[in-house]
Chain A
Amino acid sequence: MSDVVATTPQETVERALALSGADDRMVIADEGSTANLRFAGNTLTTNGVARSSRLTVISIVGQGVGVVSRSAVRPDQLADVVAAADRAAREAQPSEDARPLVPGTASADWDRAVEPTNIEVFRDFAPALGEAFAAAEASGRRLYGFAEHTLTSTFMGSSSGLRLRHDQPTGRLELNAKSRDMARSAWTGVATRDFRDVDVAALDTTLAQRLEWAKRRVSLDAGRYETILPPTAVSDLMIYLYWSAGARDAADGRTVFSRPGGGTRVGDRLSDLPLRLYSDPAHPGIECAPFVVAHTSSREESVFDNGLTLGSTDWISGGTLSGLVQTRHSAELTELAATPRVDNLIMTGPEGGRSLDEMIADTRRGLLLTCLWYIREVDPQTLLLTGLTRDGVYLVEEGEVVGEVNNFRFNESPVDLLGRLTEVGASGQTLPREWSDYFTRAVMPPVRVPDFNMSTVSQAN
């Protein structure tokens, strides 16, 4: 075998397209790089850098589709990978989502070389984190968390002439502070594209204040409480709603967005407030791929849609369900617009929404959450979710935080919640606590719920 990998992803895409004997061809090359630092108790636990290279060949013969995806493909292996995809396409049943391929367009930066990330992305951040460890240690705090930076460059070519490229940087810092006796805990997190905007000392200061809040403990029973959810908690609930918003499943009668008796609930009012839930690949700070990238077909994406331009897409508009995630194929079945998934999510409320601090100051008695955790679906018919509060539930009285409350297990549906919100604050970029492994690009508001269902008390702290 050859020991040499000496080709660019662009060249690989061109060669694979040329090698295929299928009626239609698509090739996706994903070049990834990542660097990370993980820490616990004011010290490093693991770290690493990694590179990845994945080639996905999608062959179409008639209406049959064959998909083969291989990592680290050498030039001498390329013909075998393409032949395997061609063979799979010839043997495949006709695909019901088969459509003409998206006509060719080309990215202006198609030819530019890949510039991977590496451990140097933390060159300034790591010493600052070290200083935060020292400060925390001196003040009786322990810091835990994770810093990660990834860069994925995607190259998509097709026999219809597509030559599209997208470079996606993704970064996040999660920071958790605990008191030395581990009895008090607070969390914050930020999404970043390059770590140059991360002020770890400022984040640690915020956590120190929250640990101070937690010195007074208040025990509360399970029940329904007026509750302020900060943007990170709202994002985790809305992301789950977004993941459950497949048009095909709704039309098949399987989700909260299914209309009893048939069809979808598009057009139903979900909230009396002028809520907007939408995605926009060009939204500042959370930019994402402006075209469809589907490595395989599923209920909610189709390889035949690859390259389709993505724009601002409303899922909820003026409080009314206005769109569901779907392919060109499912759009024909549901007689709705083709609205493929976009890799970010934005929620806004009425003009003039207040800040989280202003909402706290205007609370007579209620709970302020830090974040939600271990969110899982209990009932798809209502989208009832269960999960836990985590790293700080604070009691607010007469506009001030007066202490920390025990954690709770909640049972709530985000769809039902939308109809019960009494306030939606000003939106800002946030890091989803639970789903940041998969979804980091979110702009969300804090919200006020008059009767959040805390089902039982959790002893966790």
Chain B
Amino acid sequence: MQLNGLSVDQAPPIAVPLRFFLTAPLFGIIAGVLILLNDSHTLMNRYSIDAIIITHAITIGMFTFVMFGALTQMLPVLAGAKIGEVKRVTLFSYLLLSSGLISMILGLKFSLSFLTSYAYVGIGLGFLTMVLGIVYAIRNVKNFTATIKGMAASLLFAFFTACLGSFLLYEYASNSISQYHLLVANIHSVWAIFGFCGLLIIGISFQVLPMFYVAPKFKQFCKKRVVILISIGLSIWFCLNLYYEEYELVAKIWIALFFWAFATAVWLKFNRRKRPISDVTVWYWRSASLFLTLGSFLWIFDEFFKHEYIVMVGILIGGGFVLSIILGMLYKILPFLIWFHLNATGYMNIPTINEMIDNGLAKVQFTLFILSLIGFIFAFYIPQLLAVSALYFIISMALLEYNLLVPVLLYRATKKRKPDFDMSAFSVDGVA
């Protein structure tokens, strides 16, 4: 029987998610600087080394870090499960992923094969540690909700994505690019975005939208079938890609239609939400559904243009959809965590979560982020836009780091004083 999620002391120590959250914008800054140092012609080729490095600074450094950090916190609430030895497991994974990613960036950039060799081991093991830790934690969950199904399917794709990624890095490290390299790279990228990131976002949104925004619930069909139908679509696409490439468009349309439907559902649910509040997190959800719609259609049209627009699809779906949702969720989760951990340890006289992050600065951060994305897209036609967009992106990520650090510093300062209320009667070992 799952009891873990009901106790306050099930929450992982606050350092566990914060470590992941505070590191993510730093990799965003690194990605921005790398874009600034490049030209749009190089980045238009998705298989150029610089494009690969930048993509992974964002996909591993931002997507994965925030998602893993959030999962450590959400598992007890959503599934009543907690990762065993959570401090050790997450620290181990964090160190492997961050050192692996830095090695990958340096190893590929400067052709240092020993660093690239370390990267495929480090990143691969980092993923494996977290994925296995979470899978082991949810193995006995009785009430397997639509959200947990989304999470489990997403982790399965994360596992395969990491295996394929490690194989690709191994080929770079050993300087032996096989004939399957581009095929594997294509599967790796599609499963990463639609499988790992997409399914996790869809699964989480089944819970988050009705609860935090009092938006209408997703229909039973969506909750029961969409995750499995997308997973089937991704598997069919994989088979067609391997054996009947001329028919892969069918599976792509299948996948894209579900994501477009999801984007539309999110937009309509926000229109019909009962809470009138419109903060930066709502802006992020709105922008995510717009970018996802554009990205889904472009992904299909790209098929007829010899994949000329695939990088643009990556910007629309990776940056516009996945990153938007992740940043929006960060603005919700981080201040709440700070408030929750302080309040649960007896600190009552603390700012509310709205007061922890300056709403004006969050909106500036959002605006710069969206402008940078639009700039990146138009840089395909106006190359001069790339540098200014990269600058916007860097400033936006630096602002994000600042916005996240303010509540963390408040937490540290508050913990130095005596609690307002003695909570020793309650068990809060894991919270402090």
A and B associate in one complex:
no
